[in-house]
Amino acid sequence: MRELRNQGGQVLELVERGQCFTVTRDGKPVAELRPINRRSLPTAELVMRAKKLPRVDPDGLRNDIDTWIDQSL
């Protein structure tokens, strides 16, 4: 509980990123902090959003990646 009180902002940032925490009192678990399940979008909404995305030229993308990433890695 002390860590949660003193570092609450950092803990909540980690929870927002998907991490779960067990809150203890005197070494005994008393609560769990976890992200709230976000509602999933209907398929029709996802399809509509996908149609609005710009087209990607796979060859151009590969050339851009090759330009910016060290190929000797």
> Residue 40's pLDDT is what?
83
> Residue 37's pLDDT is what?
82
Beta-strand runs (E) in the chain: 21-25, 28-33
Joined together, the tokens standing for residue 51 give: 């149609």
> Residue 3's pLDDT is what?
80
Ramachandran category for residue 18: left, alpha or beta (phi over 0 → left; psi -120 to 50 → alpha): left
Whether the model pTM is above 0.85: no
Single-letter amino acid code for the residue at 66: D
H/E element, 29: strand 28-33
Q: Are 30 and 40 in contact (CB under 8 A)?
A: no
Q: Where are the domains of the chain?
A: 2-68
Q: pLDDT by residue (tens digit) across 6-57?
A: 988 999 999 988 899 998 988 899 999 999 887 788 999 999 999 999 999 9
